[in-house]
Amino acid sequence: MARYTINIDEQSNAGKHLISLMKAMGDVVKIEKKHQSGIDKALLDAENGNIHSAKDAEDLISNCLK
């Protein structure tokens, strides 16, 4: 048996239909839903450069108010 990983946007209409089709094929398809943990999301943010820094609390607050 081969294992495939696909990403499906469950919020879209097509994604919802695809999930229901795959659930209907229960004897052939096994669905494993994997959620990212908070640390995984944080590490991904760091890899993508989505981080901010401030020298102190006042600097942080002034950056947030910009």
Tell me if 51 is assigned to some domain.
yes
Flag whether 41 is in a domain: yes
On whether residue 7 sits in a domain, the answer given is no
Residue 8 resides in a domain: no
In a domain, 4, yes or no: no
Calpha distance 3→38 (Å, rounded): 26
For tokens 């919802």, name the residue.
Answer: 16
Is residue 47 in a domain?
A: yes
Tens digits of residue pLDDT in 13-28: 999 999 999 999 988 8
Range of the domain at 28: 13-64
Indicate the helix (H) or strand (E) that contains 23. helix 13-24
Residue ranges of the chain with per-residue pLDDT less than 50: none
In a domain, 17, yes or no: yes
Examine residue 6 and state whether it is found in any structural domain, yes or no.
Answer: no
Helix (H, G, I), strand (E, B) or coil at 21: helix
First to last CA, the chain: 54
Neighbours of 15 (CB within 10 A): 13
pLDDT of residue 6: 87
